[in-house]
Chains A and B, each alone.
Chain A
C-alpha cells in the first residue's frame, strides 16, 4: 500500500500508522451514547471509508484518508488540520 502524504508525496505504507475511523470528538457534556459511539461503535464499512493515519516515520502529519476497505483503493488524502471529517 502507498499513501500520498499531502506534505511529503507518495510514500510506502511502512512510514504510516493507522488509528481508526475519522470522527469528531463529542462535546464534554454530550450524552453517553455520543461518547460510546465516538470511542467504540463503528460503521466499519466494507467499502468507502474515512480514517485517520499518522505519518509517523515521516512529517508527523495526521491525515484523513478516504479509501475503500474492500479494494484498498485510495480516493484522497488530506491533512487532519484541514479536514471537516474530524470537526464537530
Chain B
C-alpha cells in the first residue's frame, strides 16, 4: 500500500511492468519489490528445498527470498533480486522454482515430507541399487534443485570491462562513506566513491532522521552536490565492489543499463578493475533476523527493510503490522509506521525491563512463537509472562540487531573478530595496509558516529598518503548507542528458519551438532547453510549463535565462516566480456594471409596463428586431393609456402657465439659467417625443448629459427639464460618473428622461381646447402637461406613483413608457370614426414635427443643447458622409446597418430603397449601410409613386424619397423 506524503519515488512518473503475466503500476524509483508490495503482492517465490511460499525479506542486495527471472527468450536472466531490480516500462518478471504456478506448486509436497529431508539425508540413502543413482535418484534431485533457469540460448547481451585508478577508493555512500569521500576529496587526492544503490545516501535514504536539524536526505544531497563540484572526485552508483585483491586491486560490477527499457548498444553491465592506493570501507551493516517458528512466511520482514519501504518508496509493507525486536532500533519501526498512519498491532519486545511504548500495544519480555497463513502471514502468536495470544497481522517486522558488512575486509584473509560490546563480528583492525573501515561496517552504528568515523578513517588514510587533512566543523545527528544484548532464537516448538534460501532450520543445525558435525565448517557444509545465492548474508551470524548454544561454546569460539569474492554474484558474461566469440585470444595472421584467402585456402590454428591448410583447385572435393597434389607438386616442380610463423630470434654481441654454444647442444661458434646449422636445444632437465636452424650473419650476429609453437617459450628461455645465468656476457636478443616475412620455395624447380624473384640470380654452387646471404629481392633488402623442410632443393626468402604479401603472390604466380604453386600445412606435414623431420608431435616434452636419434648432437666438449640432467639413469635407460618409421604390411593400410604399438599376438592391455604413433599420413610419393612412432628399443628392431592398434576408430594395422627417413635417405635431393 502506498502511503501518502512519504517516499522518494517520483509519483508523477508511473511505470507499467508485469509479474507472472499480470500487469502492475509503480513509480520511477521503485524496485520490483517495492512496486509489488505497493500493489499488495506478498508472494514472490518458493524456497529451494521445501518449496515454501516466500515473500520479500529485505530491501537490498542481501535478499534471500524474492528472487525472480527477468526478461524472456535469450534475454531471460534468472535469480534477480526483486529488491535491487529497478522497474522500467515493460519490465517483465516471473517467479521461479515452482510448477505449475507460484500459488500451486506441486513440489510443495516436499514440505510435508520435510521430516525425511532433514540436513544431509541424502548422504544416508539412495545407495541401493547402485545403478539407480545416475538413472533415477540423481535426475530427480537435479530437476528439483536449482532456482531459476538459463534460457539455453547464447547470451547476446553487451558487456564491457574497464580499468579505474585512484588515490582513495571509498566503498559505500552512506553517512560514513559520504563523509570519508568528502574529507579525502578536500585534500585534493583522486577519490572514487562507489555505491551499489542508484543514488548515494545509504541508510539515510531509508530512515526518517535529522542531521543538523534538517532532514538527513538534505544533508545527503548537499554532500553529493559538493562532491559533484570537485574535479578530483568520481561517484559511481549502481556499482558494487565485489572483491578485494592484493596490492590495492578491487573488482566492481556496474549495472549500467539493467534499469532501462532499451539499452541499445550500451553495455548492460561493466566489470571494473579498480587500482587504489588506499581504501575506506563504508559498507554499512546488515540487519539480523531472529529464529522463531514459522519465521519464513511472506510478510515476515526485517524491521529496517519495513522502514526503508516506508521512507524511500512510500510503501507500507502491510496493513496490520507487528514488530518483534530486542532493541530501540526495532522500536523505531513501530514509531515510524504509526507516524505514517499505518496500523501497528503489536510491539513484541524481548526485553523484560523496558517500558511499553506509549502508542503501541506492547508486549514486553515476550516473543513470537508461531505464525499462520498459507501464502502469506495472517496471524502471529505472542507469548510472554502473561500467557499467549494470537494476533492478526499481515506483516511482522523483525529486528535482532545489526551485523557489520565486513565481507570485503575479509577477502584478503583477515578474520573478523567478535566484539562483545556490540554483540557482533567486526573487521579485525589494521589487517591491511592502507585499508580502513568506517561507520556501521566497523560497528559504529549511529548516524553521528558514522559521520565522525568516516571523517576520522579518511584522515588516517590521508596522513598515510602524506596529504593535507582538511578541517571540518561539527555535525549534529542521531547518536543512539547500539544494543549490547543479542537475542538469537525463540525456544519454542516448530521449525524456525535460519537460512531462508536453502531452507536450513534450527533443527538442522541441532542435528548437525548431534551428529558431531560440530565445527562451524562442518555444520555449514552438512546443512548447506550460507551456500545459497545470498551466501548467508542475513543468516551466518545467527547460525553461529545457534551452533554455539548447541555445543556449549561461545560465538567467538565457534568462529565465523570465510568470506570470499564476489560480495554479490557477478554474471559470467560481464566478467568474461573479453572472451566472447573470437575475442578470447589474439589472432596472428601471416603476411600472406589475404593472398591465401584469395586462393580459397581454409585456415587452421597453429598456436595463435592462422595458417592455410591447403589451396584447393577446381575439381578437388576433399582436402586429401589437394594435399596429394601439393606434395607431388613440390616433389616434381616447385612449391611455395609462407613460413613466417617460425620464431626468428636475432642474437648479437661479443659473446653471441659463446651464448649459442651454451643454449644449443651442438656447437655454433664453429659456424662460418654465411652458413647455417641445424640446432637442438634442451631444457635444463635434459629433455628436448626445440629444434631449428641457426645462421651466422656476422662475426657477432646470428639469427635463429624456432618452431612456430615454441617461439615464445624459446625467447623467454634465451632471455632467462642471458639475464639470469650469463648476465655478464655482451649480448642482445631480439624477437624478429613479426618483422620478417619468410617464404619457403622448394622443389626441383625452386631455383628458377627464386632466380625470378632475386635481382641477382644465384647458382646452386654460389649458395650451397645450408648457406645464406643478403639478397635484393624485388628491389628490397632481404635474406636468402638454402634450407629445406621438404627434402627437396629448398630456399627460404626473407623480406620485411610488409612485402610478404607481394612476394608470396609473385612467387606463387611464377611457380604456377612451372607446374607448381602454393602448398599448405597438410602438404607441409606430409613432406616433412616423408623425410622423417620432426615437429612437436615428436618433440613432446618427454623425449631425449637420443630417443630422436640425435644423440650425436650432444657435444662432449662444452657445457650446455640440459647437459648434466640428460645423463640421469632414467634418460639413458635401455628400454626407452625411440623414433622409428612405420610402413603398413598387412591387409589394413591406414595409420593414425595416437595409435598404440603391440607385439603381434600379445594381449591387448596397457602393460603390453610398447609405444605409440606420433604422426601419420598418406604419402602420395610412396603410395602408402607412413608413420613416425616412438617404440621401445626401436632402433634395434628394424624389420620387425609390429601391431598398430587405434581402438577409438577401430584401426588395426600390421607394420614393418623401418627407418624414420622414408624418402631420399641420403639427402641428395636437397643437398645437390
Q: Which of A17-62 contact B (CB under 8 A)?
A: 17, 19, 25-26, 28, 35, 39, 52, 54, 56, 60-62
- CB-CB under 8 A for A1 and B247, given A28-B863, A28-B868, A39-B685: yes
Does B854 have its Cβ within 8 Å of any Cβ on chain A?
A: no
A60 to B869, CA, bound (A): 27
Q: Which residues on the A side are within 8 Å of B249 (C-beta)? A: 1-2, 12
Does B725 have its Cβ within 8 Å of any Cβ on chain A?
A: yes
- CB-CB under 8 A for A2 and B719, given A52-B724, A86-B724: no
Contacting pair B245 A60 (CB below 8 A): no
Contacting pair B868 A80 (CB below 8 A): no
Closest to B247 in A: A2
Q: Which residues on the A side are within 8 Å of B245 (C-beta)? A: 1
Q: How far is the CB of A39 from chain B (nearest CB, A)?
A: 6
- Please tell me which one of the listed residues B685, B723, B863 contacts residue A81 in the complex, with CB atoms under 8 A apart: B723
Q: How far is the CB of A1 from chain B (nearest CB, A)?
A: 4
Does B727 have its Cβ within 8 Å of any Cβ on chain A?
A: yes
Q: How far is the CB of B758 from chain A (nearest CB, A)?
A: 35
Q: How far is the CB of B549 from chain A (nearest CB, A)?
A: 34
Q: Which residues on the A side are within 8 Å of B869 (C-beta)? A: 35, 39
Q: Which residues on the B side are within 8 Å of A71 (C-beta)? A: 413
Q: How far is the CB of B870 from chain A (nearest CB, A)?
A: 11
Closest to B273 in A: A12
A81 to B413, CA, bound (A): 34
Does B393 have its Cβ within 8 Å of any Cβ on chain A?
A: no
Contact with B along A61-84 (1 / 0, CB 8 A): 110000000011010000111100
Does B248 have its Cβ within 8 Å of any Cβ on chain A?
A: yes
- CB-CB under 8 A for A80 and B724, given A28-B867, A54-B716, A60-B719: yes
Does B246 have its Cβ within 8 Å of any Cβ on chain A?
A: yes
Contacting pair A62 B868 (CB below 8 A): no
Contacting pair B725 A25 (CB below 8 A): yes
Q: Which of B663-683 contact A (CB under 8 A)?
A: none
A80 to B722, CA, bound (A): 10
Closest to A61 in B: B723
A35 to B875, CA, bound (A): 15
Contacting pair B719 A54 (CB below 8 A): yes
Contacting pair A56 B716 (CB below 8 A): yes
Q: How far is the CB of A75 from chain B (nearest CB, A)?
A: 13
A62 to B273, CA, bound (A): 26
Q: Which residues on the A side are within 8 Å of B867 (C-beta)? A: 28
Contact with A along B260-288 (1 / 0, CB 8 A): 00000000000001010000000000000
Q: Which residues on the A side are within 8 Å of B868 (C-beta)? A: 26, 28, 35
Contacting pair A62 B719 (CB below 8 A): yes
Q: Which residues on the B side are within 8 Å of A82 (C-beta)? A: 727
Contacting pair B720 A72 (CB below 8 A): no
Does B684 have its Cβ within 8 Å of any Cβ on chain A?
A: yes
Q: Which residues on the B side are within 8 Å of A12 (C-beta)? A: 249, 273, 275
Q: Which of B237-258 contact A (CB under 8 A)?
A: 245-249
Q: A54-B719, A56-B716 are in contact. List 4 more A-B contacts (CB 8 A).
A: A1-B249, A39-B685, A52-B720, A86-B724
A and B contact pairs by CB, cutoff 8 A, 23 listed = A1-B245, A1-B246, A1-B247, A2-B246, A2-B248, A2-B275, A12-B273, A25-B725, A35-B869, A39-B685, A54-B719, A54-B720, A60-B719, A61-B723, A62-B719, A62-B720, A62-B723, A62-B724, A72-B247, A72-B412, A81-B724, A81-B727, A82-B727
